[in-house]
Chain A
Amino acid sequence: MKSTFFRFFAALLLALSFSQVANAADVVVISNSGTSISAGDVKDIFLGEKQFAGSTKLVPVDNAASQESFLSKFMNMAGDKYNSMWTKKSFRDGLTPPAVKSGDADVIEFVKKTPGAVGYVSSAPAGVNVVK
């Protein structure tokens, strides 16, 4: 009985640890190869607070497939609040919310070809800057 409980508890801990490792690795922020940004800028970029990197206009894009993980890891907010903040930003400052791409492939293609583009994907591809 005691050993069964111990095995169950160990298995549970193992499953939770894998889960956390998976969450930590399941979203990375990428930018166009000509655009340099820091991890500390990500939240401001995706809230419309930071619109320029030097003279380059930043173009953030959302990824529908990874948005929940991204918002949890980088923005510390849920989707409803994120959308609400963009509505207020648009209404007050005339900004347009980030376009929403359907998945990693669309985000990567957009980021590669668009100067100033910033997006997020489930794994880091080649040909773009990975924000660390």
Chain B
Amino acid sequence: MVAAKNVNTNHSSQKGLPALLSASIAGLLLSITTQAQAENDGIALHGFADVGFSAQTVESPDNKGFNVGSLDFYLTPQFGDNVRSLIEIIFETLPDGSLATDLERVQMGYAFSDSATVWAGRFHSPYGYWNTAFHHGAQIQTSILRPRFIDFEDKGGILPAHMVGMWATGKIKAGGGKFTYDVYAGNGPQLDMSEATITNPGAGVLTINTAGDNNHQAMVGINLGYDFSGSMDGLRLSIHTLSGDVDELNDVNPPVNNTELSMAGGTIEYLGNDWEVLGEYYSFNNKDKSGTSGSHSSWADFLQIGKNFNGLTPYVRAEKAVLDQADNYFSNQASGQSYTRQSLGLKYDLNPKASLKLELLNSKFEADATHGAGSSYRSMLAQYAIRF
């Protein structure tokens, strides 16, 4: 797995459990599943795993060579007609070779009807489409890399990919299609600046508040969409927003780094006739609450197009982020640098549960005061991904 540029992933909340304990957790999961199957409790264990290889031109800061990606387990225990639950744990190797264990999701829900399910716990923030559709499922994701600006927090993503809180979701039939909604609120993230130095000030990483919110102000998001039907079956259009305060971890009082994150945008997805068209747009109007720099506007988007030809899916993706470096929220983050990236790839399904992927990338990062000189490099990635 290619590391995000300039991100120190030795993050305290991601530093792994000892390998023996991690293996014990995996063994416990498997034993629970085996026993449950014998007793017909309906607990099925599923997951994803991937390995890969990467090579880059010399300008790239990413690791080169073979790599073990991640091993992801998830369970969906059923507790009657209306109770839902989903538990996901992941083991992944970090760029320094250490093993990290993350309790990715622990969500418990209740389905009141087809149009209303309420979840509580730790879940994938339901902005856009990509974050909830693929997340750590490498085999079901067409490309190897996620669009960089919506990568995971510990990989340098600029948005909170996870949230601990509550989430209401559902679909309502209307006009032949369906309105979709996601309304969620939870603990906002903090910005961990522990790796920042005088020579590398823009090395912050978003960290999720899993055990309570530091600023007692919920982060709130909405995602509203419409699933078309008939001749446009497979097309979904949606709009999304996310807002809330993001403070620096262990900040002093008064805080020196406090931003009111304000994001709005939209998505387009078309999944039909073997096409996969995914486009997401995010605009930011963040407010500096700890300083006097006022509000700052930025934006980021991507568009990925692929088509399946009997298990062979070529795809292309273009992504761009124009991030105002006067906005502390971006200038302090390791991945808060403006950039463009183009990707060209091929996914081949060996069978429905195993895929080979090859991806070529051309990346260009803009120079700025906190992230240093700009850079431009090319990468070639390969991945073997399975699901079970």
> Which residues of A approach B to under 8 Å, CB–CB?
49-52, 57, 80, 83-84, 87-88, 90-96
Q: How far is the CB of B333 from chain A (nearest CB, A)?
A: 27
Task: Please report the C-alpha to C-alpha distance between residue A87 and residue B109 in the assembled complex, in whole angstroms.
Answer: 19
Which residue of B is nearest A54, CB measured? B113
Q: How far is the CB of A70 from chain B (nearest CB, A)?
A: 18
Q: Taking the complex as formed, is B114 at the interface, i.e. its CB lies under 8 A from any CB of chain A?
A: yes
Q: Taking the complex as formed, is B135 at the interface, i.e. its CB lies under 8 A from any CB of chain A?
A: yes
Q: How far is the CB of A53 from chain B (nearest CB, A)?
A: 10
9 A-B pairs within 8 Å (CB atoms) are namely A52-B113, A57-B82, A80-B311, A90-B76, A92-B132, A92-B133, A94-B76, A94-B85, A94-B109
17 more CB-based (< 8 A) A-B contacts, given A80-B349, A90-B46, A91-B74: A49-B114, A50-B114, A51-B114, A80-B352, A84-B140, A84-B352, A87-B137, A88-B133, A88-B137, A88-B140, A91-B46, A93-B84, A94-B76, A94-B109, A95-B76, A96-B42, A96-B78
- Give which listed residue, B46, B84, B114, B137, contacts A52 with CB less than 8 A: B114
Task: Please report the C-alpha to C-alpha distance between residue A45 and residue B45 in the assembled complex, in whole angstroms.
Answer: 23
Q: How far is the CB of B105 from chain A (nearest CB, A)?
A: 9
Which residue of A is nearest B178, CB measured? A49
Query: Contact at A87–B114, with CB atoms within 8 Å?
Result: no
Q: How far is the CB of B233 from chain A (nearest CB, A)?
A: 9
Q: Taking the complex as formed, is B81 at the interface, i.e. its CB lies under 8 A from any CB of chain A?
A: yes
Which residues of chain B have C-beta atoms less than 8 A from A94's C-beta?
76, 84-86, 107, 109
Query: Contact at B76–A96, with CB atoms within 8 Å?
Result: yes
Task: Please report the C-alpha to C-alpha distance between residue A51 and residue B83 in the assembled complex, in whole angstroms.
Answer: 12
- Say yes or no: A57-B140 contact (C-beta < 8 A), given A51-B114, A94-B109: no
Q: How far is the CB of B267 from chain A (nearest CB, A)?
A: 15
Q: How far is the CB of A96 from chain B (nearest CB, A)?
A: 6
> Which residues of B approach A to under 8 Å, CB–CB?
42, 44, 46, 74, 76, 78, 81-82, 84-86, 107, 109, 111, 113-114, 117, 124, 132-133, 135, 137, 140, 171, 178, 311, 349, 352, 387
Query: Contact at B81–A57, with CB atoms within 8 Å?
Result: yes
Task: Please report the C-alpha to C-alpha distance between residue A96 and residue B311 in the assembled complex, in whole angstroms.
Answer: 25
Q: How far is the CB of B323 from chain A (nearest CB, A)?
A: 29
- Give which listed residue, B44, B109, B178, B352, contacts A96 with CB less than 8 A: B44
Query: Contact at A91–B135, with CB atoms within 8 Å?
Result: yes
Task: Please report the C-alpha to C-alpha distance between residue A42 and residue B109 in the assembled complex, in whole angstroms.
Answer: 25
Which residues of chain A have C-beta atoms less than 8 A from B86's C-beta?
93-94
Which residues of chain A have C-beta atoms less than 8 A from B42's C-beta?
96
Question: Most B CB atoms within 10 A — which of A88, A94, A95?
Answer: A94
Query: Contact at B76–A83, with CB atoms within 8 Å?
Result: no
Which residue of A is nearest B74, CB measured? A91
Q: How far is the CB of B128 from chain A (nearest CB, A)?
A: 13
Which residue of A is nearest B115, CB measured? A52
Q: How far is the CB of A41 from chain B (nearest CB, A)?
A: 10
- Say yes or no: A51-B111 contact (C-beta < 8 A), given A92-B133, A96-B76, A96-B78: yes
Which residues of chain A have C-beta atoms less than 8 A from B46's C-beta?
87, 90-91
Which residue of A is nearest B42, CB measured? A96
Task: Please report the C-alpha to C-alpha distance between residue A95 and residue B76 in the assembled complex, in whole angstroms.
Answer: 7
Which residues of chain B have C-beta atoms less than 8 A from A83's C-beta?
352
Which residues of chain A have C-beta atoms less than 8 A from B76's C-beta?
90, 94-96
Task: Please report the C-alpha to C-alpha distance between residue A91 and residue B130 in the assembled complex, in whole angstroms.
Answer: 13
Nearest 6 pairs of A and B residues by beta carbon: A57-B81, A94-B86, A94-B76, A80-B352, A94-B84, A92-B132
Which residues of chain A have C-beta atoms less than 8 A from B171's C-beta?
49
Which residue of A is nearest B352, CB measured? A80
Q: How far is the CB of B351 from chain A (nearest CB, A)?
A: 9
Task: Please report the C-alpha to C-alpha distance between residue A57 and residue B114 in the assembled complex, in whole angstroms.
Answer: 10
Which residue of A is nearest B124, CB measured? A92
Which residues of chain A have C-beta atoms less than 8 A from B114's C-beta?
49-52
Task: Please report the C-alpha to C-alpha distance between residue A84 and residue B141 in the assembled complex, in whole angstroms.
Answer: 11
Q: How far is the CB of A86 from chain B (nearest CB, A)?
A: 11
Task: Please report the C-alpha to C-alpha distance between residue A92 and residue B167 in the assembled complex, in whole angstroms.
Answer: 13
Task: Please report the C-alpha to C-alpha distance between residue A51 and residue B115 in the assembled complex, in whole angstroms.
Answer: 10
Task: Please report the C-alpha to C-alpha distance between residue A92 and residue B107 in the assembled complex, in whole angstroms.
Answer: 11
Which residues of chain B have C-beta atoms less than 8 A from A52's C-beta?
111, 113-114
